């Protein structure tokens, strides 16, 4: 790979990529929603990264003198706890800030896991064809035959309820989408001239698959990744809500909601805020995803 002749072409390829990137950004920034989404998402990332500095208290720090204190603007509110406290006197604001870490973590891990494994499996199935392809696709059909949340629930029940296991389960459930996409793209590209040429030139299958074909199938995968980033966050929160995701006292938003359910009438803030946090985060990611799709796939561009 590091032979001398390739030094020059890489440079020009980089330049080409830069141009592509610039074009991509031009389209992306035209989309007002996408930019708002990006800004909000960056804010969440900052919150997550600097949670230790921003959050007024630790996520599990208990204030025994303030169980279920309401938010400041409500009667009985306390400036120490801007968004109030939960049942064991933990500051809601701090927990929400720390919670952003878990949601982003879930999104990143699930997407990378399913993207990585999905691409490999889809590549092999699409490239190899034959019985291997059939077998792989049947397994994917089996996974798709179950409603994804139900399957994830059953998987977590097997693995034991925890955030890590919830992520693994969600990654497995999302797998088939990546496999199918990659496989379809590979099958489409496989017969094209440049692949045939490369094969005739004696390029080995692995290199052919990952270096030659893969870069040309990336767009749909990126769009899918953006989509499943938000789905992963929602599913993890749903599992947490059903008691099968992150376990308390982890300040994961879905888990916080599950814990807060009994206070639905007495302390609205412990129920409302985690939900708002989930909604806004997912919304921001979906806005970005839309922008991403439009920018990557001019055919689908909307006004």
Binding residues for other proteins, rule: CB under 8 A, are: 33, 60, 62, 64, 67, 87-89, 133-134, 137-142, 144-150, 153-155, 157-158, 160, 187, 230, 234, 237-238, 241-243, 247-249, 254, 257, 259, 261-268, 271-272, 274-275, 278-279, 282-283, 285-287, 290, 300, 302-303
By beta-carbon proximity to other proteins, the closer residue of 5 and 130 is 130
Nearest distance from C-beta of residue 108 to other proteins, angstroms: 18
Nearest distance from C-beta of residue 141 to other proteins, angstroms: 5
Distance (Å, whole) CA 211 – CA 2 = 14
What's 215's DSSP letter? Answer: G
Locus of tokens 């390029």: 203
By beta-carbon proximity to other proteins, the closer residue of 89 and 198 is 89
By beta-carbon proximity to other proteins, the closer residue of 15 and 300 is 300
Locus of tokens 């985690």: 274
By beta-carbon proximity to other proteins, the closer residue of 22 and 158 is 158
Tell me which long-range contacts 77-81 makes (C-beta under 8 A, separation of at least 24).
80/56
Select from 118, 110, 105 the least CA-distant residue to 218: 118
CA dihedral 225, 226, 232, 233 (to 10 degrees): 160
Structure tokens at 172: 């497995």
By beta-carbon proximity to other proteins, the closer residue of 93 and 153 is 153
By beta-carbon proximity to other proteins, the closer residue of 24 and 263 is 263
Distance (Å, whole) CA 175 – CA 167 = 12
Nearest distance from C-beta of residue 189 to other proteins, angstroms: 15
Nearest distance from C-beta of residue 174 to other proteins, angstroms: 13
Nearest distance from C-beta of residue 257 to other proteins, angstroms: 6
Neighbours of 10 (CB within 10 A): 9
Nearest distance from C-beta of residue 143 to other proteins, angstroms: 8
By beta-carbon proximity to other proteins, the closer residue of 44 and 267 is 267
Strand, coil or helix: what is 203?
coil
Strand, coil or helix: what is 89?
coil
Locus of tokens 């059939």: 134
By beta-carbon proximity to other proteins, the closer residue of 11 and 61 is 61
Nearest distance from C-beta of residue 290 to other proteins, angstroms: 7
Residue spans of alpha helices (H) in the chain: 7-30, 32-49, 51-54, 92-128, 130-145, 148-159, 163-190, 193-200, 205-207, 218-241, 253-260, 268-296
Nearest distance from C-beta of residue 96 to other proteins, angstroms: 14
Strand, coil or helix: what is 81?
strand
What's 201's DSSP letter? Answer: T
Neighbours of 270 (CB within 10 A): 26
């Amino acid at each position: 790979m590091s032979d001398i002749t390739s030094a020059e072409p890489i440079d020009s390829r980089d330049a080409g990529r830069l141009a592509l990137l610039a074009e991509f950004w031009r389209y992306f920034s035209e989309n007002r929603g996408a930019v708002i989404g990006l800004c909000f998402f960056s804010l969440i990332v900052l919150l997550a990264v600097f949670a230790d500095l921003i959050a007024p208290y630790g996520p599990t720090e208990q204030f025994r003198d303030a169980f279920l204190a309401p938010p400041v603007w409500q009667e009985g509110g306390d400036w120490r706890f801007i968004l109030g406290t939960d049942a064991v006197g933990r500051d809601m604001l701090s927990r929400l800030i720390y919670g952003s870490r878990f949601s982003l973590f879930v999104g990143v891990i699930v997407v990378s896991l399913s993207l990585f494994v999905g691409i490999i499996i889809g590549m092999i199935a699409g490239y190899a064809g034959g019985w291997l392809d059939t077998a792989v696709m049947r397994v994917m059909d089996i996974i798709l035959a179950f409603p994804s949340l139900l399957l994830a629930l059953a998987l977590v029940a097997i693995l034991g309820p925890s955030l890590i296991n919830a992520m693994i389960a969600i990654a497995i459930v999302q797998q088939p989408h990546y496999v199918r996409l990659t496989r379809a793209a590979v099958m489409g590209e496989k017969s094209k001239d440049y692949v045939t040429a490369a094969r005739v030139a004696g390029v080995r299958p692995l290199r052919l698959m990952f270096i030659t074909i893969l870069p040309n199938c990336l767009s749909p995968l990126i769009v899918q990744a953006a989509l499943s980033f938000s789905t992963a966050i929602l599913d993890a929160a749903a599992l947490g809500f059903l008691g099968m995701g992150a376990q308390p006292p982890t300040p994961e938003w879905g888990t916080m909601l599950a814990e807060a359910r009994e206070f639905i009438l007495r302390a609205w803030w412990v129920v409302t805020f985690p939900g708002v946090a989930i909604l806004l985060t997912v919304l921001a990611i979906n806005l970005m995803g839309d922008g991403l799709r439009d920018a990557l796939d001019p055919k689908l561009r909307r006004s």
